[in-house]
């Protein structure tokens, strides 16, 4: 095979030659030779090394430096191990937890990760089989680990796999650890730099014992176990979308006392090909269709779905007309915060020392609910790791303890379907979220209401908040440059009005400034610098502009607000707010 005759990048040629002549197995080398008949595929697989980002790895599975495979996983893990050994003092007993989801090759990648960590002298707690991401976060803290790895590509298509790296607080890597780990990973240039053997005795298999501890802790979140007992037979439909949720979520609901949990059988099968849905993403209607169909068949009370690594939750609720409506992440998060804060208040647990956390692109409704009940609100950057980092800053490593004098965490979440009740886990948690959503359905039943009715009650009391999103995708370098120029233009020449409404405040997260346009007053923003702009209009509308950190696109988030007088006006008000968002898009030339 003469690489020099192929029309591929020079970097790809160098990487191909390194793999063909290096210590890689013959099966891999043969696959490379066969790829020579498809130069485009060969080039795409080798033109660069798969990037280890601030959250870890994610990419298409296959042979090559730019693919998820046993070698790229091993080399990344060696970099992680090197940093852990450098950071912690000599003599520290180093420990790590490792888990994986249902994707193809996930178990193989998890075992390779465990072997590399163990060969580097790190004691590894390896789950016996697939487990949810939040349980991995819990295990890191439970065992006092310095790091952890979850092999998953979250809700991406079946061709992908990935690798989330965690720190000792059970949170995904945050500064300075994220960039420092990246530096160490980039130093690993060849598989010969990886320790792969010699640490087998350092691997400890864990499973049901940890499950029980984790589930018992979730059970302590329950605010009304007596209502669950009374309404134990509410009809719940759940789908794990062929993922890890099947291991714990039905068991968790049973432990809480729910007796009528209907799992979508076709999607209860663990299968990395996700055969019953075009995408295992609970944000999408197609992924929820089978669950909603079952709900219609049995006249269910609530529907929820978890993604393949069971950290995110999609919810569907029944409307008064009998039709089923999929809630977006902002709506589910708002209902969760409303219920938690209301119950804490009625139980006399609110002392002024409690707080909730949301990301800056999430709806302002949960914040409004919190503030009007005397609960502090903290905004953080997009990404759940920033919620974990804020909890660490405010509360510390240990979970919140009421009466301790430290700030007490109630809950947190983000618009992209991630929620966290309680801080014994430091990542979004579908297991605890599904448990609380089911409890809210029982609480609604006690009042002769539905989950939808609770949402309407919130809109009537706090205002009807509605959100929208537009993504402008860059398909070429020129488009990527245009995205960068768009952000520069918004900074140098910000809009004075949007859709006929005066802009009264501009938050520039990159410059750490919040500017009151009417007075000229500039207030510092206490957030890590990030290339994000937010425009607030005189009517209270919020427009956020943010280039994606993982994809070649720029995202525009829209938040508007109206008043809802009564349930009968829900559809009319909803349509009016949708029209308002569309009008804003047009005014910004986004449609």
CA 306 from chain center: how many Å? 11
Which tokens sit at 527? 């957030």
Distance CA 544, CA 587 (A): 15
Distance CA 345, CA 457 (A): 17
Distance CA 422, CA 143 (A): 19
Buried b (16+ CB within 10 A) or exposed e, 513-546: ebbebeeeeeeebebeebebbbbbbeeebbbbbb
Instruction: For residue 496, give the 3-state DSSP assignment.
Output: coil
Task: Please calculate the CA angle 384-386-390 and round it to the nearest 5 degrees.
Answer: 125
Is 222 tagged catalytic?
no
Angle between helices 451-462 and 430-446 in degrees, nearest 10: 90
Q: Which is catalytic among the residues 49, 137, 154, 306?
A: 154
Distance CA 409, CA 469 (A): 29
Distance CA 284, CA 468 (A): 15
- Pair 87, 117: CB distance under 8 Å: no
Instruction: For residue 505, give the 3-state DSSP assignment.
Output: strand
- Is the Cα torsion angle 541, 358, 228, 240 positive or negative in sign? positive
- DSSP alpha helices (H): ranges in 372-518? 384-394, 430-446, 451-462, 477-492
CA distances from 529 to 175, 178, 382, 556 (A): 12, 15, 12, 18
DSSP 291-320: HHHHHHHHT-SEEEEE-TTS-BEEEEEE-T
Distance CA 307, CA 285 (A): 13
CA distances from 136 to 83, 97, 98, 171, 552 (A): 20, 7, 7, 10, 30
Name the burial class of residue 472, with classes exposed (0-12), middle (13-18) and buried (19+) by CB atoms within 10 angstroms of its CB.
middle
Q: Looking at the DSSP assignment, which residues form a beta bridge with residue 472? A: 554
Distance, first Cα to last Cα, the chain: 50
Question: Which H or E run contains 408?
Answer: strand 408-414
Question: Which H or E run contains 563?
Answer: none
Catalytic residues: 154
């Amino acid at each position: 095979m003469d690489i020099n005759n192929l029309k591929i990048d020079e970097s790809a040629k160098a990487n191909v030659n390194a793999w063909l002549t290096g210590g890689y197995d013959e099966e891999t080398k043969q696959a490379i030779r066969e790829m020579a008949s498809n130069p485009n595929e060969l080039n795409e697989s080798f033109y660069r090394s798969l990037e280890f980002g601030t959250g870890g790895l994610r990419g298409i599975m296959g042979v090559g430096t730019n693919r998820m495979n046993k070698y790229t996983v091993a080399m990344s893990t060696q970099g992680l191990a090197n940093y852990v050994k450098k950071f912690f003092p000599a003599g520290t007993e180093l420990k790590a937890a490792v888990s994986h989801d249902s994707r193809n090759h996930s178990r193989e990648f998890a075992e390779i990760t465990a072997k590399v960590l163990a060969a580097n002298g790190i004691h590894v707690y390896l789950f016996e089989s697939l487990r949810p991401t939040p349980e991995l976060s819990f295990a890191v803290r439970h065992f006092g680990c310095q790091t952890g790895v979850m092999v998953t590509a979250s809700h991406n298509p079946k061709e992908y796999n990935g690798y989330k790296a965690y720190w000792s607080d059970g949170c995904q890597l945050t500064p300075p650890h994220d960039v420092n780990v990246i530096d160490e990973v980039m130093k690993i240039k060849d598989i010969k730099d990886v320790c792969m053997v010699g640490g087998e005795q350092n691997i400890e298999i864990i499973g049901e014992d940890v499950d029980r501890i984790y589930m018992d802790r979730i059970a302590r979140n329950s605010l009304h176990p007596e209502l669950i007992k009374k309404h134990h037979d509410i009809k719940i439909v759940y789908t794990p979308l062929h993922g890890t949720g099947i291991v714990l979520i039905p068991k968790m609901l049973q432990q809480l006392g729910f007796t009528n949990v209907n799992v979508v059988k076709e999607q209860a099968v663990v299968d990395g090909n996700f055969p019953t849905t075009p995408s295992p993403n609970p944000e999408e209607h197609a992924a929820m269709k089978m669950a909603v169909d079952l709900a219609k068949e049995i006249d269910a009370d609530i529907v929820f779905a978890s993604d393949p690594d069971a950290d995110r939750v999609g919810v569907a609720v029944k409307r008064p007309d009998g039709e089923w409506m999929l809630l977006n992440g902002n709506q589910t998060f708002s209902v969760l915060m409303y219920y938690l804060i209301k119950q804490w208040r009625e139980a006399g647990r609110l002392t002024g020392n409690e707080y909730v956390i949301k990301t800056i692109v999430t709806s302002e409704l949960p914040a409004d609910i919190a503030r009007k009940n005397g609960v502090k609100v903290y905004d953080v950057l997009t990404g759940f790791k920033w919620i974990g980092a804020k909890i660490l800053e405010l509360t510390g490593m240990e979970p919140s303890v009421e009466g301790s004098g430290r700030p007490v965490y109630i809950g947190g979440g983000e618009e992209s379907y991630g929620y966290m009740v309680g801080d014994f886990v430091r990542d979004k948690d579908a297991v605890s979220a599904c448990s609380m959503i089911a409890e809210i359905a029982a609480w609604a039943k006690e009042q002769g209401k539905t989950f939808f009715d609770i949402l309407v009650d919130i809109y009537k009391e706090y205002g009807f908040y509605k959100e929208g999103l537009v993504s402008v995708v860059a398909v070429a370098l020129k488009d990527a440059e245009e995205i960068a120029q768009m952000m520069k233009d918004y900074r140098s020449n910000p809009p004075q009005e949007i859709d006929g409404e005066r802009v009264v405040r501009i938050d520039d997260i990159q410059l750490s400034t919040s500017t009151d346009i009417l007075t000229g007053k500039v207030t510092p923003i206490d957030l890590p610098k990030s290339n994000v702009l937010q425009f607030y209009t005189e009517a209270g509308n919020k427009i956020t502009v943010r280039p994606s950190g993982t994809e070649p696109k720029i995202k525009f988030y829209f938040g508007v607000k109206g008043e809802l007088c009564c349930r009968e006006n829900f559809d009319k008000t909803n349509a009016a707010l949708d029209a308002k968002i569309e009008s804003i898009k047009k005014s910004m030339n986004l449609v």
